[in-house]
Structure 1
């Protein structure tokens, strides 16, 4: 465990296991790297795994800048250089998935393989009720949220627990910001595994559109699989957006993807 000085942040990370290519895990909003604890042993059994606390989350103190997947992606790319590896595998969930996606877009030579868990490439990929909840999220929730397990974790880990209202305010501002990365996703270079819950907060139509942008679901791959795309799609049964990152089935679909030989 330790800190890496990147882009004005002291970015906290922890390492487990051993291997040539690190697998970097990026957590969801209001969380920390600890959210991967249920699946970390399975992922680290035969590889080096690095969990990261993003800007203003967990043990990483906030900085004087808004929350943006684009800027957090620059932090992750800089951390990759500090890890002593030419390339990394990258898994991100929810907010961390947006950061992972932006890292692969902005630094395609850094990311060998990409795993996106419950991620949209366009804001309207979420169900309408989810968008309404995002729009209703605001600084007024900072005090009520102190009764939640999310706050308990933050207060225990944060270098400056009094930054809690800033975390809520910056998260609210981010949730209300529109985005559309359709064109960039269509040009995405690293092979990508899309993972969703079967009862996700993301519309099934958006999941299919995401898969097709990456070359999936467009044709029969043939008996020999010669026309199979490099990217893959997995649906985790019995899960929702809110617990899919802790599903024991997640390592079972991630590990074969990371270990598979590259397609020609």
Structure 2
């Protein structure tokens, strides 16, 4: 893991390096850049894969200053500047997708494609907002006790050994309960601006995602002019790149290969 100073803070990231087309990936809430380790292994060296830590996650600190996903988008663009990346396929899971959409709106010339996993363009649903606020309050009061992080792991990751891996991680980590939580709950709605995004967009959704219903991905499909159909990953919850890398990597390689210049005889 490395770090660069961007927009007044050190943003941490992992970079496979190389001369291939760049792919920049942002993780979902409560996770970090390691969620894309399998994609880095599968795509490099044909593609240069950069996975980064959002504010309050992984090695990127929460300094307590309020921010929005527009600020996250500027972090991504600043990270690309620091790494000498002029243009990239930008994407991520959940909040990583919120950020990617805004990066494409801020700097369309810098985003060659969007890679959108279990994400949406809408503001936080009022029902979800109440539930998440209660969860954040309980975590702030009680800490990462099993009664709270058990259901959280099931929702984000699903069943299996990876869920326990992340439960252990949360027990020994600072959770993003301050400015990052407010950013998530108070995000704006960019649905009305999706038509401005002309680049190709890959849409992927886990069929067992309890955090984000399928119809929100369908709204992305209908609103983005160059979106793929929604690829459904069987058995996956909210984070398919982490839990179902084989299927996700197959979809990614097929999509990204289609963006490469065609060879002429």
For residues 3 and 206 of structure 1, what CA distance do their matches in structure 2 show?
34
Residue deviations 1:143-169, cap 9 Å, x none?
33155554743676xxxx6xx36x213
Q: TM-score, normalised by structure 1?
A: 0.80
Structure 2: distance between partners of 1:146 and 1:38: 29
Is residue 2:202 matched to residue 1:204? no
Q: Does 1:120 align with 2:130?
A: no
Which residue in the other structure is 1:138 paired with?
136
State the Cα distance separating 1:117 from its structure 2 match: 0.5
Q: 2: CA distance between counterparts of 1:3 and 1:262?
A: 29
Equivalent residue, structure 2, for 1:63: 63
| Per-residue deviation, 1:212 | 1.1
SS at match of 2:109: coil
User: Is the contact between residue 90 and residue 113 of structure 1 (CA under 8 Å) also seen in structure 2?
Assistant: yes
Structure 2: gaps (5+ residues): 150-164
Q: Helix, strand or coil for the counterpart of 1:30?
A: coil
Distance in 1 (CA, whole Å) between partners of 2:48 and 2:59 is 21
Q: Gaps (5+ residues) in structure 1?
A: 216-229
Matches of residues 162-177 of structure 1 in structure 2 within 5 Å? 164=174, 167-177=176-186
Residue in structure 2 matching 1:185, options 188, 194, 213: 194
Q: Is the 8 A contact 1:25 1:50 kept in 2?
A: yes
- TM-score, normalization: structure 2? 0.80
Aligned partner of residue 255 in structure 2, secondary structure = helix
Whether the 8 Å CA contact 1:127–1:202 is kept in 2: the answer is no
1:194 aligns with 2:190: no
Does the 8 Å CA contact 1:57/1:154 hold for their aligned counterparts?
A: no
229, 246, 262: which is aligned to 2:243? 246
SS of residue matched to 1:3: strand
Number of aligned positions between the proteins: 240
- Counterpart of 1:231 (choices 215, 227, 230) is 227
Q: More helix by proportion, 1 or 2? A: 2
Cα RMSD for the two superposed structures: 2.6
Aligned-pair CA distance for 1:69? 0.9
Q: Quote how far apart the aligned CAs of 1:20 are.
A: 3.0
Q: How does 1:57-136 map to 2 (within 5 A)?
A: 57-123=57-123, 128=127, 130-136=128-134
> Which residue number corresponds to residue 253 of structure 2?
255
Other structure's SS at 2:47 match: coil
**For each residue in 1:30-78, what CA deviation from the matched residue of structure 2 results, as whole angstroms up to 9, or x when unmatched?**
2111122233311225211111111121011223422421101101001
The answer to whether the Cα contact below 8 Å between 1:43 and 1:255 also exists between their aligned partners in 2 is: yes
Instruction: Give, in whole Å, the separation in 1 of the partners of 2:91 and 2:145.
Output: 29
